[in-house]
Structure 1
Amino acid sequence: MIQIGLLVLLVTALVVGPKYYPSIFAKPIQNYRKYFGTTPPSTPSSSRKSSYSSNEPLAPPTPLMITPEQVKNYDDRPWRPFRWPYHQTMSIFRLEMNHWLDMDKYYWRYIQEKKRIWMKYGRENIDWLPEGYEPSVELMQMVTDHMLTRYPLLFTLVEDRGEGGKIVYNEMTEETLDMTMPLKEHPLLYVSNMAKEDFYIVMKNPKDDLHYLVAAAVPFPGGSFGIHEKIGRHLDVIHEGVPYYKEKLKRSMERWFERLTPNDPVERASWYISWDHKLKLNNVYQLPKFNPNIEADIKSMDPKDFNIRVERQTLRKLPKSGAVIFTNHPIFYSIEEMKDEPLIPSLLRKILYEGPEDILKYKNFELFRDHIAGYLDELIQRQKDKGLISDDTPLKTIPSYPFAHWAKTDFDFVNGWNNPSPSYSKEGSNYTEKAKMEKYAEND
């Protein structure tokens, strides 16, 4: 259920955020020097934009001249979506098209995992209704054009047959994607062979003017559900059990989907904590019948091995079909690599114990928080000893939210983003080999 919950939280933020949390959406300038005693770096441009709606046509993405070899060492934008007070109905930013489908050094792992999950689970994770075919074709064409424009050294146009489709060569996987008509595979499979993201397609049914899930490619839900259980269902049915849906969003969701235009793309990020790097199903959401020893497993884990799974999400409307596209891209950050970032350990500990009760249960924080609390306390004291924070430092959302404080404004240079902490190294932080050694359960 975790990604379905992320979708509802994204739209919750859009619908009720400006009304109930105007100070958050206004993003007032905060006194960084007061918190940390230093001058802040430039805040990323996307995080400065409080408006998520515009009548201006979307500009095409700017080409990023990065090669496949450079991608192997490329870190994406450093997300830090931690805030206090901890609410789920805020922090939506207008999406810059350069970052609709981001690239990073884990690209190969994500594509390989998508293929494994498709071969093993098929339409449990990638499914569609007949009415979802045309918007899936439109999505495929949009993704193709985006990749060719944004990453001209990673995707090569072999042949363009106009309305008859394109043939594209993926320079990273060394695969040729023949998307000429008639298509040999469902369009969502081509999309999944190009982009790391999961995709949901929601369409309005003309019979009742309500929105339904008509197609989805979701190999990485993070939690224990199959997309085949959600396909064809109305938004209200899909979101049963999601915190705050009935109280804050049910009446407003349809109106918001109706108002959304192709010029209003947005992004945000949510997060939870686990101790593995699995994409389809993290251990923290594993069912007892598949892992009856989960509590013993947690106690056997070194707290330094726990990580944050950030769910980076976007929402936009397709111009032809009017379908609404929700994407989700999981990114893992170890707590250890963030230990020199002021207030991050303090925020994590505060949220784990004092966040909204429904959210604590939904994200299974109660399952492991006592196990890692001592580790977080050590990191907090370490930051005090290093002078990064003091006992008087206000515990609140960092000024550079939702990105790391060391991130620069320019999110388009080729070499990616380097964490300046002595605790971080590009090679040491690459968890690809470690992830390969993590054992899969029967439902992974």
Structure 2
Amino acid sequence: MIDPTPFFGLQLVPVVAILIWLVYSYLVKKRASPTASKPVASEKDAGLELPPDPTPLENLTPEKLKGYDDRPWRPFRWPYHQTMSIFKLDMNHWLDMDKWYERYVNEKMDIIRKTGKEYCDSLPDGDDAVEELLETVVNHLIMRYPKLFVKTHIGLDNLVTGEKMDLRKPFKEPPLHYLARLTKEDFYIVKKREDGRHYLVAAVVPAPGGFFGVQNKMGQHLDVIHHEVPYYEEKLKVSMERWFARMKPADPVERASWFICWDHELLCNGIYALGPGETVPDDTSYLKYNVRVCRQTLRRLPKSQAIIFSNHPIFYSIEEMKDEPFVPSMLKKVVLEGPEKILKYKGFEKCDQHLIPYLDRLIQRQIDLGIIQADDPVRTRPSYPFADWYDPNEKHTGNGYANPFYKKAQEEPEKMH
């Protein structure tokens, strides 16, 4: 019988040598390969804390998006104070989608074509941040909405609009234009300069709602940009710059503000188009009144260290919210009794006399239906900043957030004007 030990012993020599060579080759290739192709993975490997990847919504298709409603914001509170009012951002909701997506991106691009750089511009020191933001947005959309956005060898396919977007460098158009066509959001890009303070270096904001052009803001410090914001100097100035300096990529936040309008214009709502002393036209139907919620997020990008401020408007008709507890009462309270500077800034004085009779009727309706009691104090709802019927702990399956009061509101509209 032949002893097998020498045979296998001899065979192990070339096998071990091959294994050593394969491992060596792998390590050399890994060291030589660029890390830019996978920025998120390389940053995590380097020990940077980043927000978690979004959970894919596998069943949200272009067809389903046509009837899809986003989270129901109700950012109404009393007492009303001017604060940042921020909440930790769930990255699943950084770039939300809904049935108005196509209308938004089409109208935004139409505004940019008509106005040029008035609402879309950047400075040279913002170029790296703009490109990083575009890369981040594309990766997020592909991951979060796999049935709406598909990665291709040249960029991505937008299955909602049908556009095949070429994102190869050199870019064929300004990267800010791609951002405007991909999302409902407006983006403001802020970077820290050598003096340690934060300045606006790029912006694509065709949907500000109130004539917020960027040309007189570009390159300016946060204090200049927020100069017209009520109580900024007294309450927000010191804390905002300090908060921006401490913000980390792993700590994205969101907030929402609101005002009242009677149209759905993205660039400038009618309330801000009114001149000094003008008020809402008397023949305006109460059914046209909307609350425009400006849903905003803040996050820091890991490579450029730029802070990204996003904003997109969501319109909720007062009529569809009329049976939600305290909504009419809260609106009336803020419109009539809110801080004076905020009332003027949001244009409430231009519509209050016309709107209050309608709100009084809705309040009485809630009392008659037993939704509220006549002596109930107006107060912030426990569900703030969302509607009472929204469950933030419920896993989002991609089915949308259908307002249970909406159908009823359509069936029983207020018979006024």
Per the normalisation by structure 1, the TM-score is 0.79
| Partner residue of 1:372 out of 355, 377, 383 | 355
Query: Is residue 276 of structure 1 aligned with residue 269 of structure 2?
Result: no
Q: CA deviation at 1:225?
A: 2.9
Alignment of 1:1-40 (within 5 A): none
Tell me the equivalent position of 1:33. none
Closer/same/farther in 2, CA of residues 252 and 192 from structure 1, 3 Å limit: same
Q: Which moved more, 1:138-147 or 1:385-394?
A: 385-394
| Partner residue of 2:213 out of 216, 226, 229 | 226
Q: Distance in 1 between matches of 2:208 and 2:257?
A: 13
Query: Is residue 59 of structure 1 aligned with residue 52 of structure 2?
Result: yes
Contact 1:169 1:177 in 2 (8 A): yes
Q: CA deviation at 1:312?
A: 0.3
Contact 1:62 1:98 in 2 (8 A): yes
Paired residue secondary structure (1:156): strand
Query: Is residue 169 of structure 1 aligned with residue 157 of structure 2?
Result: yes
Paired residue secondary structure (2:219): coil
Alignment of 1:4-403 (within 5 A): 57-65=50-58, 66-89=60-83, 91-159=85-153, 166-206=154-194, 208-288=195-275, 294-295=278-279, 297-403=280-386
Paired residue secondary structure (1:180): coil
Q: What count of residue pairs does the alignment treat as equivalent?
A: 364
Per the normalisation by structure 2, the TM-score is 0.84
Tell me the equivalent position of 1:413. 397
Q: Distance in 2 between matches of 1:346 and 1:107?
A: 31
Contact 1:118 1:125 in 2 (8 A): yes
Q: What does the per-residue CA deviation read over 1:189-237, in whole Å, with 9 as the maximum and x for residues that have no partner?
A: 111111110000001112x222110000000011123112211111112
Q: Distance in 2 between matches of 1:202 and 1:214?
A: 6
Contact 1:215 1:231 in 2 (8 A): yes
Contact 1:269 1:310 in 2 (8 A): yes
Contiguous gaps of at least 5 residues in structure 1: 1-54, 160-165, 430-444
Q: Which moved more, 1:359-368 or 1:90-99?
A: 90-99
Q: Which has the larger radius of gyration?
A: 2
Q: Distance in 2 between matches of 1:362 and 1:422?
A: 30
Paired residue secondary structure (1:121): helix
Q: What does the per-residue CA deviation read over 1:352-398, in whole Å, with 9 as the maximum and x for residues that have no partner?
A: 10000110010010111110101101100100110000023231001
Q: CA deviation at 1:245?
A: 1.2
Matched AA of 2:317: S
Tell me the equivalent position of 1:41. none
Contact 2:257 2:295 in 1 (8 A): yes
Q: Distance in 2 between matches of 1:56 and 1:426?
A: 47
Contact 2:278 2:350 in 1 (8 A): no
Q: What does the per-residue CA deviation read over 1:234-279, in whole Å, with 9 as the maximum and x for residues that have no partner?
A: 1112222221111122233322211111011000111000111100
Matched AA of 2:201: V
Contact 2:323 2:366 in 1 (8 A): yes
Q: Distance in 1 between matches of 2:134 and 2:215?
A: 20
Q: Distance in 2 between matches of 1:253 and 1:83?
A: 21
Tell me the equivalent position of 1:15. none
Contiguous gaps of at least 5 residues in structure 2: 1-47
Q: Which moved more, 1:85-94 or 1:62-71?
A: 85-94
Q: CA deviation at 1:287?
A: 4.9
Paired residue secondary structure (1:82): coil
Matched AA of 1:286: A
Closer/same/farther in 2, CA of residues 254 and 219 from structure 1, 3 Å limit: same
Q: Distance in 2 between matches of 1:270 and 1:411?
A: 25
Q: Distance in 2 between matches of 1:61 and 1:425?
A: 34
Q: Distance in 2 between matches of 1:385 and 1:315?
A: 42
Closer/same/farther in 2, CA of residues 422 and 89 from structure 1, 3 Å limit: closer
Q: Distance in 1 between matches of 2:399 and 2:267?
A: 29
Q: Distance in 2 between matches of 1:427 and 1:211?
A: 50
Q: Distance in 1 between matches of 2:50 and 2:300?
A: 13
Contact 1:73 1:426 in 2 (8 A): no
Q: What does the per-residue CA deviation read over 1:49-83, in whole Å, with 9 as the maximum and x for residues that have no partner?
A: xxxxxx96421000012000000000000000001
Q: Distance in 1 between matches of 2:407 and 2:156?
A: 40
Q: Distance in 1 between matches of 2:95 and 2:162?
A: 19
Contact 1:304 1:375 in 2 (8 A): no
